[in-house]
Amino acid sequence: MMTLMMLVPPALVLAAATLGFARPGHLGRGALRAIEGLVIGALASALLAAGLLIASGPGTSPLMGASEIGLSVRLDAVSAVMLLLVGFVGWVVVRFAGTYLDGEAWQGRFMAWLCATLASVMLLVVAGNLVLLAAAWIGIGIGLRRLLLFYPDRPAAQRAARKQLVFARAGDVMLVAAALILAIAYGTTDIGTIIAAARAGGGGDAAHGAALLLAVAALFKSAQFPTHGWLTEVMEAPTPVSALLHAGVINAGGFLLIRFADVMLLSPAALAGLVMIGGFTALFAGMVMLTQPAVKTSLAWSTIAQMGFMIMQCGLALFPLALLHLVAHSLYKAHAFLSSGGAIERIATFRRPGIVDIPGPAAVARAFVVALLIYGLIGGAIGFLGQSPQALALGAILIFGIAYLLAQGLAEAAPAALTRRLAVLATVASLGYFALHVVANWLIEGSVPQPPAPGPLEWVLIALTVVSFGLVAVAQAMFPLWAYHPAAAGLRAHFSNGLYVNAMTDRLLGGWALRSTSSSNPRVSA
């Protein structure tokens, strides 16, 4: 029964895709309601599966431990959370797309590939063996490419799809190679058996090699530097594609690392690479995001930065927090993309008071000292709740964002009310961080491993991460002091172009050689 329950959500969404393929043109209201009804049924089935896990899962806490079901489907806290997330976001996107694509000549085909991609993501998160996992992984790339080429005569869409194809196929090769190595090393394709053996320390050098390949596959799928360019060009596709991509598909890389967390822990080199590449991507994309004039392009760079931060969390072995990050980011980014059309109107009617005063170096220094003091006092008062050094370092990085705001409250001309309000914000943020970390650990306890005690390499990476993010936060807090310097203006121009990394990728892949169609074509000029 539980095996069928886990297979029902992707089966229902595949049925919705079949309706779209059967009527590739304009869909009537009845067909749209039928498609949405099937997706709602998938979400309801995911809720029922989570309920069954709570009722039958081992341990005393809800969603604790893992229940292996058959040879092809796996139900544990990670798959239950991800299935619920994908089902909910998928329903929202499908409902939005039904109205957004009304009047399009190939509305049915779009809905079909949208549901097919969504079903592939669902199969990925419930896969219990390596064969189904790899098939779903490849299916996601195929479906996404078809969605990116919904307007096939747009040169920009062709470039984006071409780059996505190259990096997706590279990621597919890495994942298939990793799956073969894991199957040979552990003598099985069953993911549960592999995880249990890896947790016991088995696998040897083969597991180390598989972990490196899994890391590279996740980096490709999550659009990490320098393979991120295609993600910034998907705006040529309809908005529902952007919402599904940024809120669901892009999470596949993070899910892969979380699913095979025990294997990843066997390779310190792979984790170190994730920390360095993910951390750099987060800082790089975060700075580029601030220079983008278009709402959706800024959101795309935001996704790259958020995925970089999530990859860094996996590299620090903070897998529960990485899963929490995936859920929070997906919900936020789906809303951000689907509501992006009204951004200009909201900005026109919104009145901001602006910066009360520009904080000087002394105010910035006081802000960081106060923020870290608040964080340390709260953490010390509750005994840091047994948190690992990696988690404490991550909390310090997050509090740097509050220090940036607190610096404005400590400026000379800032009113006392603003200072108090921002101090309360820093306190609430610290409490929220510890509370969410405890909830995340409790929610998926037993499904993923806890961070191991850091060795010399890990300590170096932790220090490098905290210092790097701290320096960027200080530079951001002091940005108003040098924003209008001629050197800053030139630097802003370079960052607005992403340091030209995407242009170099286009040259390497021959993207500039794509022939554009006539500008008189309404589908090109739209």
pLDDT digits (tens, 9 = 90+) for 435-474: 777 777 777 777 788 888 888 888 898 889 888 888 887 7
Cα–Cα distance, 118 to 165 (Å, whole number): 18
Asked if 242 contacts 162 with a C-beta cutoff of 8 angstroms, the reply is: no
| Average pLDDT over every residue of 248-277 | 91
Decide if 221 is inside a domain: no
Domain membership flag for residue 137:
no
Q: Which helix (H) or strand (E) holds 33?
A: helix 29-56
Distance CA 363, CA 105 (A): 58
Tell me 358's DSSP state.
-
Q: What are the C-alpha distances in Å from 29 to residues 20, 82, 95, 102, 241? A: 13, 30, 12, 10, 21
Q: Which of 96, 128, 160 is at the close of a domain?
A: 128
Question: Residue 415 is part of which domain span?
Answer: 353-509
| 3-state secondary structure (DSSP) of residue 519 | coil
**Which 3-state string (H, E, C) describes 493-510?**
HHHHCHHHHHHHHHHHHC
- Between CA 65 and CA 426 the distance in angstroms is 34
Return all residues near 241 (Cβ < 8 A) that are at least 6 apart: 114, 144, 147, 148, 150, 234
Flag whether pLDDT at 371 surpasses 90.
no
50 in any annotated domain: yes
pLDDT number for residue 346: 55
Least confident of 2-16, 160-174, 223-237, 375-389: 375-389
Which burial class, exposed, middle or buried, applies to 301 when counting CB atoms under 10 A from its CB (0-12, 13-18, 19+)? Answer: buried
Q: Tell me the per-residue pLDDT of 477-504, one tens digit each, with 9 for 90 and over.
A: 776 666 666 767 777 777 777 788 877 8
Query: pLDDT: is 522 or 253 the higher one?
Result: 253
Answer whether residue 172 is part of any domain: no
Per-residue model confidence (pLDDT) at position 51: 81
Residue 357 corresponds to which tokens in the numbers above?
């005063």
Question: Which of the listed residues 107, 128, 149 is the one where a domain comes to its end?
Answer: 128
User: Which helix (H) or strand (E) element contains residue 68?
Assistant: strand 66-69
- For residue 230, tell me if it sits in a domain: no
How many other β-carbons are positioned within 10 Å of the β-carbon of residue 288? 25
Distances (CA, A) of 226 to 23, 250, 492: 40, 16, 19
> Per-residue DSSP letters for 105-136?
TTHHHHHHHHHHHHHHHHHHHHB-BHHHHHHH
The CA R_g of the chain, rounded to the nearest whole Å, is 23
CB-CB contact of 75 with 6 (8 Å): yes
State the residue for tokens 């969603």. 63
* Torsion of Cα atoms, 422 then 427 then 431 then 434, to 10°: 90
- What confidence tens digit (pLDDT) does each residue in 396-408 have? 887 777 776 777 6
**66-69 and 73-76 beta bridge pairing:** antiparallel
- Give just the sign of the alpha carbon dihedral 36, 37, 42, 48: positive
Mean pLDDT of 204-233: 89
Tell whether 178 is covered by a domain.
Answer: no
Q: Tokens 């987060």 map to which residue?
A: 282
Q: How far apart are CA 300 and CA 315, in angstroms?
A: 23
Q: How far apart are CA 123 and CA 79, in angstroms?
A: 10
Measured between alpha carbons, how far is 274 from 59 in angstroms, rounded to an integer? Answer: 32
pLDDT of residue 194: 92
Q: What percent of the chain has pLDDT over 90?
A: 19
Are 122 and 83 in contact, with CB atoms under 8 Å apart? yes
pLDDT at 327 exceeding the cut of 80:
yes
CA quadruple 205, 211, 213, 217: dihedral, nearest 10: 170
User: Greater confidence, 132 or 162?
Assistant: 132
- Among 269-283, 339-353, 487-501, which stretch is predicted with the lowest mean pLDDT? 339-353
Q: Which of 317, 443, 444, 326 is nearest to 387 (CA)?
A: 317
Nearest residue to 166 via CA among 156, 158, 178, 154: 158
Greater confidence (310 vs 487) lies with: 310
Q: How confident is the model at residue 62 (pLDDT cuts 50, 70, 90)?
A: very low
From 103, 128, 153, the end of a domain falls on 128
440 C-beta neighbours (distance < 10 Å), count: 21
For 391-402, b/e burial (b = at least 16 CB within 10 A) is bbbbbbbbbbbb
Which helix (H) or strand (E) is 56 found in, with range?
A: helix 29-56
Q: What's the total number of domains in the chain?
A: 2
Residue whose C-alpha is closest to residue 118's, from 160, 88, 148, 157: 88
Q: Give the pLDDT score at 476.
A: 73
Taken as a whole, the chain contains a residue count of: 526
Statement: residue 122 has pLDDT above 60: yes
Q: What is the mean pLDDT of residues 86-110?
A: 85
Distance of alpha carbon 96 from alpha carbon 255, whole angstroms: 25
CA-closest candidate to residue 32, choices 102, 119, 120: 102
Rounded to 5 degrees, φ, ψ at 42 are -65, -40
Residue with the larger pLDDT of the pair 358 and 186: 186
Q: Is the pLDDT at 68 greater than 50, yes or no? A: no
Structure tokens at 305: 């930065």
Q: Is residue 459 part of a domain?
A: yes
Domain presence at residue 434: yes
Give the model confidence (pLDDT) of 75-86 as tens digits.
888 888 888 989
Return the amino acid letter for 40.
I
Q: Are 439 and 383 in contact (CB under 8 A)?
A: no
